């Protein structure tokens, strides 16, 4: 089946999370994504949990790709990569600057050899900054960006988001930047370099929080599952679980009050507008907490649904992927491998391309090299580092 990016070839030189996620996003949209790994493999292959000998962490970020092993520290490996890049539209890399220079992957060098190539670089910090050589990881970016300072309960310890949002944001920006640069190349025939720093990606997620802080001069504090500017908008404990309630817009306030038996508050002029409720956050939240705590989760959901109040159950991950909605929309896909199968959560821009399992290390090396041969590229004697002698 043809995808949105059918005919586009992407070379994924990246490791672990942000870069591989960008490549997988493009693969889900139909691009032919070739993951290039060193002989020892992407270090993510060693991150558990494991099923049938496969890392589920690695598999979750590399589904839909083909895999080739190239030792880029050898002349043959570098030549093979150049032959591969000659057939490619986009290349993604997230090496440290020193490694980029050592391996001959500097954007200017790549574009000199392949002037139509789109080069996507994911870095810890901008490579034209004073911190270019510094390494970074998601936890570091979450902390340094300010995100951790507003995550967690009031007066509690700083908390990182439950998923690697800095890495994932960088991956999404890298995929978007790669496609945008490719669109530019279609217009003028010239390749481009796009850089996505991890810290910048994390800071971009602050949006209204950063603007509000800079405008007022006041640092926002963590408010748990709540919202700094909207009340009520948070998780509330029921008699046997949790529900979340999101009263965005004043029309839902009286509907919520009627649904949970707080009729007197519905007519109280002190709580009529969101601004007033935000000022009286403690009193409003306490009243709703008491009302919701008397209801079972099922009863609370039924009442809120009948009243038309925006709400949801607080699902665990397994509950979320088991929702009929996830099956109906194809969000969860079953991927077959020779050893068994695993399930993955797909992105929202799927285009009908069937999911293919993440490649075993070097699974498609011969296939891809044969394609290069057929296309007229120079064949390689050896692309993998010989085993160490005992």
Core vs surface per residue 86-111: b (16+ CB within 10 A) or e: bbbbbbbbbbebeebeebebbbeebb
H-assigned helices in 94-238: 97-103, 107-113, 138-145, 165-188, 198-204, 207-216
Please report the DSSP string for 282-308 in residue order: HHHHHHHHHHHHTS-HHHHHHHHHHHT
* Given 12, 138, 167, 285, the catalytic residue: 167
**Token digits of residue 64:** 């839909």
Peptide bond into 49 cis (omega under 30): yes
CA angle 103, 106, 107 (to 5 degrees): 145
The Cα-based distances of 38 to 19, 121, 206, 213, 234 in angstroms read: 15, 18, 36, 45, 46
- Cβ neighbours of residue 228 closer than 8 Å, sequence gap 6 or more: 150, 209, 212, 220
Is 167 one of the annotated active-site residues of the chain?
Answer: yes
Both tokens of residue 88?
């490619």
Q: How many CB atoms lie within 10 A of CB 362?
A: 17
List all residues 6 or more positions away from 352 whose beta carbon is below 8 Å from its beta carbon. Answer: 1, 2, 3
Asked if 232 and 282 touch (Cβ cutoff 8 Å), the reply is: no
The size of the chain, in residues, is 390
Q: What tokens were used for 50?
A: 């494991």
What phi and psi, each to the nearest 5 degrees, are found at residue 302? -65, -45
| CA–CA separation, 352 and 371 (whole Å) | 25
Concatenating the DSSP letter of every residue in 262-282 gives -HHHHT-GGGSSHHHHHHTHH
Phi/psi-derived region of residue 52, left when phi > 0, alpha when psi is between -120 and 50, beta in every other case = left
Active-site annotation, residues:
167
């Amino acid at each position: 089946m043809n995808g949105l990016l059918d005919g586009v070839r992407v070379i994924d030189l990246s490791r672990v999370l942000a870069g591989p996620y960008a490549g997988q996003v493009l693969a889900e949209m139909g691009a032919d994504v070739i993951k290039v790994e060193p002989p020892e493999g992407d270090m993510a292959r060693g991150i558990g949990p494991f099923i049938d000998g496969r890392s589920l962490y690695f598999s979750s970020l590399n589904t839909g790709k083909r895999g080739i092993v190239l030792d880029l520290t050898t002349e043959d490996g570098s030549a093979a990569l150049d032959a591969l890049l000659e057939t490619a539209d986009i290349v993604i890399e997230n090496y440290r600057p020193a490694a980029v220079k050592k391996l001959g992957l500097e954007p200017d060098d790549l574009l000199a050899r392949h002037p139509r190539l789109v080069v996507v670089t994911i870095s810890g910090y901008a490579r034209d900054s004073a911190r270019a050589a510094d390494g970074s990881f998601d936890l570091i970016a979450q902390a340094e960006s300010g995100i951790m300072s507003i995550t967690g309960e009031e007066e509690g310890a700083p908390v990182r988001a439950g998923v690697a949002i800095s890495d994932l944001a960088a991956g999404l920006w890298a995929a978007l930047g790669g496609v945008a640069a490719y669109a530019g190349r279609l217009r003028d025939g010239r390749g481009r370099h796009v850089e996505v720093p991890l810290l910048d990606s994390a800071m971009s997620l602050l949006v209204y929080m950063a603007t509000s802080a800079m405008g007022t001069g006041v640092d926002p504090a963590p408010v748990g599952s709540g919202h700094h500017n909207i009340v009520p908008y948070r998780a509330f404990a029921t008699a046997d679980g949790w529900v979340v309630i999101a009263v965005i817009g004043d029309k839902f306030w009286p509907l919520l009050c009627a649904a949970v038996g707080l009729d007197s508050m519905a007519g109280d002029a002190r709580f009529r507008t969101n601004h007033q409720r935000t000022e009286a956050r403690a009193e409003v939240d306490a009243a709703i907490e008491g009302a919701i705590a008397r209801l079972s989760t099922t009863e609370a959901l039924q009442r809120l649904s009948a009243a038309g109040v925006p709400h949801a159950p607080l699902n665990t991950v397994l509950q979320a992927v088991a929702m009929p909605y996830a099956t109906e929309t194809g969000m969860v896909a079953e991927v077959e491998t020779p050893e068994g199968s695993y399930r993955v959560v797909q992105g929202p821009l799927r285009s009908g391309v069937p999911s293919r399992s993440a490649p075993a290390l070097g699974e498609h090396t011969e296939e891809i090299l044969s394609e290069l041969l057929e296309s007229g590229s120079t064949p390689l004697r050896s692309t993998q580092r010989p085993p160490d002698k005992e």
